[in-house]
């Protein structure tokens, strides 16, 4: 994995946690973490041993322990024992400074080389760390994880977070599964990172999981796929890879802050080619529902009359994005949650 000197400045920036991230992305991520933890069937008070692969500044830890209004934390009622693993020394040191507490440890290391020699219930990932690897490298890492999981007498859960191949953020790259992903959305950082990243759809990610399971002798798996940020990924704001797309994330953030947008800016025209038929059908269905929400909010006057109406529309669109999706690889990220039976 590449390293970059100022990454922590981005990941700790208050501006990074915009309304879309707080009210949609983090909610969806906590829900899929909850799906993983529920699959472990741990009794109240039991230890929850977590290895967070590519932990960065420990967003995964924060999302396990904290919840939005009206929801219980994912790790509530469990004795959390967390280990964060990252290949970037600066990330590890930053995470240690943020969470200097019992039951939380951070280790510098590369998952491709060796995993910490401990027993874990949950192998966590968020922020698409597996996309930094080639497909073969991801298969190797998952083989090592699933081999450990298959040897246990209790269930294990593995969260595999990757970039979705068919995100509208990068329509011109749909014909590729691995391409140069310029990280241009960093907050308060001038540095730009050039790095090859691997994108997946449901079929290709499922094939990697199945191949790793076969190598590891882990035959009894239950795998569920989740899409996140279909129209509101960060690169709809930067438009780095698809300049033709409207800046949907920026528009919805502005709406939530009470700044009206134009109806035509918010409406979504689905792609008509470049992807398998089920992907194109998904986007047609998405466009019909999304545009219906937008048109109803603007009404016959073709305007939003107040800041309150703008925020109400943003809230409805964020709720629409939070709904469970089919896990096709049509969002900014595609996540497989793998439950391994003993």
Quick: pLDDT tens for 33-87: 999 999 999 999 999 999 999 999 999 999 999 987 778 999 999 999 999 999 9
Integer angstrom CA distances of residue 260 from 15, 46, 95, 208, 270: 20, 49, 38, 44, 23
CA dist 133 and 139 (Å) reads 9
E-strand spans in the chain? 47-53, 79-86, 104-108, 122-124, 156-164, 178-183, 193-200, 221-228, 333-340
> Which pLDDT score, from 0 to 100, does residue 183 have?
63
- The confidence band for 3, taking pLDDT boundaries of 50, 70 and 90, is very low
Q: Compute the Cα dihedral for 17, 18, 19, 21 and give only its sign.
A: negative
> Which pLDDT score, from 0 to 100, does residue 13 have?
55
Mean pLDDT of 115-143: 97
> Which pLDDT score, from 0 to 100, does residue 220 have?
87
> Which pLDDT score, from 0 to 100, does residue 319 have?
98
- The confidence band for 301, taking pLDDT boundaries of 50, 70 and 90, is confident
Mean pLDDT of 198-209: 98
> Which pLDDT score, from 0 to 100, does residue 201 have?
98
Mean pLDDT of 14-38: 91
Examine the pLDDT at 206 and tell me if it is beyond 80: yes
> Which pLDDT score, from 0 to 100, does residue 192 have?
60
> Which pLDDT score, from 0 to 100, does residue 293 have?
98
Q: Which letter does DSSP use for residue 21 in this model?
A: I
User: Which string of b and e fits 51-77 if b means at least 16 CB within 10 Å?
Assistant: bbbbbbbbbbbebbbebeeeeebbbee
Taking the whole predicted model, whether its pTM rises above 0.85 is answered as yes
């Amino acid at each position: 994995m590449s390293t970059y000197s100022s990454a922590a400045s981005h990941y700790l920036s208050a501006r990074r946690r915009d309304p879309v991230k707080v009210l949609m992305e983090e909610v969806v991520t906590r829900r899929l973490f909850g799906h993983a933890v529920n699959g472990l069937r741990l009794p109240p008070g039991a230890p929850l041993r977590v290895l967070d692969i590519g932990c960065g500044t420990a967003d995964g830890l924060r999302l396990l322990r904290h919840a939005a209004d009206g929801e219980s934390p994912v790790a509530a009622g469990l004795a959390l024992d967390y280990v964060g693993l990252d290949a970037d020394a600066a990330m590890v040191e930053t995470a240690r400074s943020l969470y200097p507490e019992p039951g939380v440890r951070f280790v510098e290391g590369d998952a491709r080389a060796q995993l910490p020699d401990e027993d874990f219930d949950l192998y966590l990932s968020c922020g698409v760390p597996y996309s930094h690897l080639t497909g073969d490298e991801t298969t190797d890492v998952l083989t090592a994880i699933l081999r450990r999981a298959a040897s246990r007498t209790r269930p294990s859960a593995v969260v595999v977070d990757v970039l979705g191949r068919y995100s509208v953020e990068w329509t011109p790259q749909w014909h590729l599964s691995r391409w140069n992903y310029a990280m241009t959305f960093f907050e308060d950082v001038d540095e730009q990172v050039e790095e090859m990243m691997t994108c997946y759809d449901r079929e290709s990610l499922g094939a990697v999981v199945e191949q790793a399971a076969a190598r590891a002798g882990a035959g009894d798996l239950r795998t569920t796929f989740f899409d996140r940020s279909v129209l509101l990924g960060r690169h709809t704001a930067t438009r780095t890879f698809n300049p033709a797309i409207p800046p949907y994330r920026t528009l919805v953030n502005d709406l939530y802050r009470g700044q009206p947008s134009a109806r035509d800016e918010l409406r979504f025209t689905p792609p008509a080619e470049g992807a398998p038929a089920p992907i194109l059908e998904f986007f047609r269905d998405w466009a019909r529902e999304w545009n219906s929400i937008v048109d109803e909010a603007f009404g016959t006057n073709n305007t939003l009359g107040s800041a309150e109406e703008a925020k109400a529309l943003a809230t409805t669109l964020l709720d629409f994005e939070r709904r469970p999706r089919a896990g096709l690889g049509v969002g900014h990220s595609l996540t497989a949650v793998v439950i391994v039976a003993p």
